Structure 1
Amino acid sequence: MTHPDIFKEFNYECLAEQIGSDHYKDMKVEPAYFISENKLLFAEGNVVKYVCRHQKKNKAEDIKKAIHYLKIILERDYPDDKED
């Protein structure tokens, strides 16, 4: 969860709780806060989320999910930039 003193003027009270697990608990900035404050799109936000939590939650599976969302971003935003 995001530490309440780091961004006092932008803190969301709802980030004080995490439902289902505690894999974000020790992070200085919770991914949900970072994603929201930077107004990231869904796919970009998922990349941040999965990369941040992989060591404490689903290991390689979360990295594979992040790669999947990166592929979505490539296809969505750079359809003409095909790999050789």
Structure 2
Amino acid sequence: MEILKVILFAFAVLAVGIFGIAVRIVFLKGGKFVNTHVGGNKYLKRQKIHCAQTQDKMEQRDAWRKVKFNNATIASDIKVGK
């Protein structure tokens, strides 16, 4: 019988928590979940801090540009027909 009380109490606490989260979405006009992603934080944006995926994408893009630039430089150094 005691375990039933514990389960019901846990269920009630969980239900109150879910209801609290849903209040913002359901009852506020244009309500939606808060953006907790690093990219949605204006203070981190000011410091140019991004999430790991974005930083990886930026590094890969920069590395690709360096490779393309280096290959173009090497190709222009080759003298054809002399």
What TM-score do you get using the length of structure 2 for normalisation?
Answer: 0.27
What TM-score do you get using the length of structure 1 for normalisation?
Answer: 0.27
Greater helix share, 1 or 2?
A: 2
Q: Specify the structure having the higher radius of gyration (Cα).
A: 2
